[in-house]
Amino acid sequence: MAHYYAQPDNPSCHDSFLDVVTNIVGILIILVVVAGLRAKNAPVHASMLDEPPSSPGQADLRNDLAAEQALRHDILHTAEQIRALGQESLARFHERDQMATLVSFLEHKIQSHRDQLDAKARREFELVQSLSEARHRLDQLERQRIALERSEPESVVIQSLPTPLSKTVDSQEVHFQLRAGRVSYIPLEKLLEQFKADALRHMHKLLEVPEFTETVGPEGGFRLRYTIQRCDVSVETQLKTGRGAYAQLKHWTLIPISSQLGEPLERALAEGSSFRQTVAALKPGKTTITLWVYPDSFDQYRALRQELYRQGFAVAGRPLPEGVPIGGAPQGSKSAAE
């Protein structure tokens, strides 16, 4: 049985071989046809016919004809062999394609098995790695457990603050502003005294206008702007009470002269700070400290409130939206201290 080996597929080589075989067959066929036509059309001279059969020319002609017949037979035989060779070559070409296809299929199958083995190996490696990490984590937890059992428990500090029950402030009240992380004392009592004196000087304006606005200060970095209005009463009320029109405070507003008033919280809680000196002059238990707080200083408010609690002061918190000034009015609410 013959054994065939698949060679690398090269279509251009096969095409060139078939072209060469086809060209040779064509050339041989043309040569046979040309030789036959020349022998058929060759002129026969009368002298040759008249010569006796045993003449040398006739013998040569017979020899040439015999040679031509032999040549024609050889050419036809060669052409038949070439045709058979072409068919054999074509059959081997198809057989080679089949073998190449089979080889490609087997290689693909082998590669598929190899990939499956690689995937299985990867899964086994990942499982081994996960198991190693789990064991390492277990060792860490075991060491932490042993360390915790041997260590002494840490003490827990519980801060005690006053019970958060608020009550309206009717005692002495001192005010501070907490803004941009800074603590600044508000001399509100001095500003209100200046307002009362200044309002009396301008009270005559109410004879011409229903209200007027003036500003006093600065005092401790703040000005106080106030508005006084005239309150008219009816004739019937005047007859009953004997009182006519009267002046009344409409509202007041504090205006800081700078955005950097006061001290940062760390400086305010340090010994010898302005905040410490102001608070030292107050009496715990008899004075309520009101903290006007803006949104950017809530953390400072909690720290400051804790320190004031520690000293025994009642603390009232008055939160304000950003951009809203500190102010008051007769209809406003009082501070509620805790």
Half-sphere exposure (Cβ direction) of 285: Cα atoms closer than 13 Å: 0
Predicted pLDDT at 182: 94
Among 85, 110, 134, where does a domain finish?
Answer: 134
3 in a domain, yes or no? no
Is the pTM of the predicted complex or chain greater than 0.85? no
Is residue 152 one of the residues assigned to a domain?
no
Letter string b/e over residues 67-98, b meaning 16 or more CB atoms within 10 A of that residue's CB: eeeeeeeebeeebeebeeebeeeeeeeeebee
Do 202 and 257 share a domain, yes or no? yes
* 175 shares a domain with 282: yes
In a domain, residue 166? The reply is no
- The pLDDT tens digits for 245-304 are 788 899 999 999 988 899 999 999 999 999 999 999 999 888 999 999 999 999 999 999
Is 326 part of a structural domain of the chain? yes
Whether residue 108 is found in the same domain as residue 197: no
State residue 211's pLDDT score. 94
Same domain, 73 and 185: no
Residue 143 counted as domain residue:
no
Check pLDDT > 50 for residue 146: yes
The more confidently predicted of residues 88 and 244 is 88
- 102 lies in the same domain as 181: no
**Residues 232 and 279 both lie in one domain:** yes
User: In this structure, are 175 and 323 located in the same domain?
Assistant: yes
* 81-114 pLDDT tens trace: 888 888 887 888 788 888 888 888 888 888 887 7
Same structural domain for residues 55 and 185?
no
Please indicate, yes or no, if residue 140 is contained in any of the structural domains. no
Is 264 a domain residue?
Answer: yes
> Does residue 236 sit in the same domain as residue 307?
yes
Does 201 share its domain with 313?
Answer: yes
Tell me how many domains the chain contains: 2
70 and 195 inside one domain: no
Could you list the residue range(s) of the whole structural domain that residue 324 is in? 171-331
Q: Backbone dihedral region of 324: left (phi > 0), alpha (psi from -120 to 50 degrees) or beta?
A: beta
Q: Which of 88, 110, 134 is the last residue of a domain?
A: 134
76 occurs within a structural domain: yes
Together in a domain, 191 and 126: no
Q: Which pLDDT score, from 0 to 100, does residue 43 have?
A: 56
What φ, ψ does residue 13 adopt, rounded to 5°? -65, -45
Beta bridge partners of 178: 183, 293
